[in-house]
Amino acid sequence: MANAAPRLDGLVDHLFRHAAGQMVSAIARLVGPNRLDLAEEVVQDALLRALQIWPFSGMPDNPRGWLFQVARNRALDILRREAVLRDKLAWSENLVDLTPRRDASPADAIGDEELAMMFMCCHPALPQPARIALTLKLVGGFGVEEIADALLSQTAAVAQRLVRAKRQIRDEKIALEIPPPGEVRARLPSVLDVLYLLFNEGYGAHGGDNLTRADLCAEAIRLAKLLAENPHTDRPSVRALLALLLLQASRLPARVDEVGDLLLLAEQDRARWDRAMIAEGMAHLDRAATGDEMTAYHLEAGIAACHATAADAASTDWAYVLRLYDELLRLKPSPVVALNRAVALAMVEGPAAGIEAITALRSHAALAGYHLLPAVLAGLERRAGDLEGAARHYGEALQRRSTAPERRFIEKQLAAIERERRSSG
């Protein structure tokens, strides 16, 4: 019997999403940063075109190449037609201008373009929320709804943020380029900051029911790797951030138990930590140390490395962790860092010292709605034997915004405390 089944295997995970980011970056380079909408439109057309054709014809041998070709041809068509409308004479000149600098080999056309797009999206002139949304949209290939989902915002608000940011890019002529060598160091912090935030958004959500948010971790790592792999942007701060992200992500498989409930660092089955990722992270951390820069990412990666290389929670070098937190607090004075430091302090000096440090943080406005403050406090109180205080503060944590697995975790603690109180009383 004849069997002409269209071949549709070889669709690697997130192929379309990643290809979308690469193509938008490459085509925006071709048509200019004042035509970002055009670049996005032709890429979207190409992806939809694939969906109309591939189910019947099967996948082309080089899916990325196919998509890129279709998008690029469409962009050139549109520009030609506009040129004809504008001025018949200008048409032929434009055509010369528009001829791509190289043949459309996608492997060749990507890489630098994506980095250039990252620097544009993370330009310090843009407001920070816009930088994050733009990076996800243009580099990451996320849809507007997915971005809203990932950042826990409204779709309309994200859409508006994107429109405004693109207008600002046009109006202020923000360049679509990797900054010249002398400026890379000054421009990197805002790029790294976006990747750091993306990762944390995803990390906090991991194990929850929101898969899009969990994808943010992988995306942040992918983009950090792009920066580390390019000689222009391979700076110690980049390696340190990449090390931090890998070391943190190595624990993701162990952060929840088989029913999806959160596990504390001390409870995690360390055999489930991703050893290859830890080794990769440690290698980047080594590279990060061979430079003239000392960033917060270095210190945070150092702390993550202490955990990643310790056999269990008890044999962790908590005194060293505490020293790193002290330094981190000097470099980046933030109440969240101070809260984490208090946990390390409790491990070194006992729960009472931790409780005292956290109590001092309670008046901090930035932590007023932060569920982890009362939750961490409650954990220390329980260790100190103050079951009543622990129950009260876990209750307080439940009043604040948190993910579903976090809420289940706290409820489980509350139930355990209730049992302990009954059996002791």
Partner 1 sequence: MAKFLLLARGAGLRPEMSPEEIQRTMLKYKSWTERVAGSGRLIDANKLRDDEGRVLRQPGGKLTVTDGPFAESKEIIGGYWLINAASYEEVVELTRDHPHLQFNTLEIRQIHEM
Which residue's structure tokens are 């004075």?
Answer: 333
- Of 105-113, 143-151, 335-343, 385-393, the segment contacting partner 1 by CB under 8 A is 143-151
- Of 16-24, 89-97, 168-176, 335-343, the segment contacting partner 1 by CB under 8 A is 16-24
Question: Which two structure tokens, joined as six digits, stand for 316?
Answer: 């962790």
Backbone Cα Rg of the chain: 25
Please pick, from the candidates 66, 68, 71, 141, the single residue that binds partner 1 as defined by CB under 8 A.
141
Q: Which is nearer to partner 1, 168 or 210 (CB)?
A: 210
CB of 212 to partner 1, least distance (A): 8
Positive or negative, the Cα torsion across 331, 332, 334, 338? Answer: negative
Alpha carbon of residue 209 to chain centroid: 18
Which residue's structure tokens are 């596990």?
Answer: 263
The residue type at 94: N
Q: Which is nearer to partner 1, 11 or 279 (CB)?
A: 11
Q: Which is nearer to partner 1, 162 or 377 (CB)?
A: 162
> What region, left, alpha or beta, does residue 211 occupy, with left being phi > 0 and alpha being psi -120 to 50 degrees?
alpha
Within residues 47-86, the interface with partner 1 by CB under 8 A covers: 47-48, 50-57
Which residue's structure tokens are 């459309």?
Answer: 104
CB of 164 to partner 1, least distance (A): 19
Query: Which value, to the nearest 10 degrees, does the dihedral of the CA atoms of residues 378, 379, 383, 386 take?
Result: 10
Q: Which is nearer to partner 1, 147 or 308 (CB)?
A: 147
Q: Which is nearer to partner 1, 226 or 262 (CB)?
A: 226
Task: Establish if 236 lies at the interface with partner 1 (CB under 8 A).
Answer: no
Alpha carbon of residue 356 to chain centroid: 33
The residue type at 46: A
Q: Which is nearer to partner 1, 150 or 238 (CB)?
A: 150
CB atoms closer than 10 angstroms to residue 169: 22
Task: Establish if 8 lies at the interface with partner 1 (CB under 8 A).
Answer: yes
Task: Establish if 106 lies at the interface with partner 1 (CB under 8 A).
Answer: no
Q: End-to-end distance of the chain based on CA atoms, in angstroms?
A: 78
Specify whether the CB–CB gap between 246 and 284 falls below 8 A: yes
- Of 3-11, 179-187, 232-240, 387-395, the segment contacting partner 1 by CB under 8 A is 3-11
Report in angstroms the alpha-carbon separations of 66 from 104, 140, 368: 10, 19, 52
Q: Which is nearer to partner 1, 94 or 210 (CB)?
A: 210
Question: Which two structure tokens, joined as six digits, stand for 88?
Answer: 């018949």
Q: Give CA–CA dist 122/125, Å, rounded.
A: 8
CB of 64 to partner 1, least distance (A): 12
Task: Establish if 259 lies at the interface with partner 1 (CB under 8 A).
Answer: no
- Of 8-16, 94-102, 280-288, 386-394, the segment contacting partner 1 by CB under 8 A is 8-16
Q: Which is nearer to partner 1, 9 or 97 (CB)?
A: 9
Using CB under 8 A, list all residues that contact partner 1: 1-6, 8-9, 11, 14-17, 19-20, 44, 47-48, 50-57, 141-146
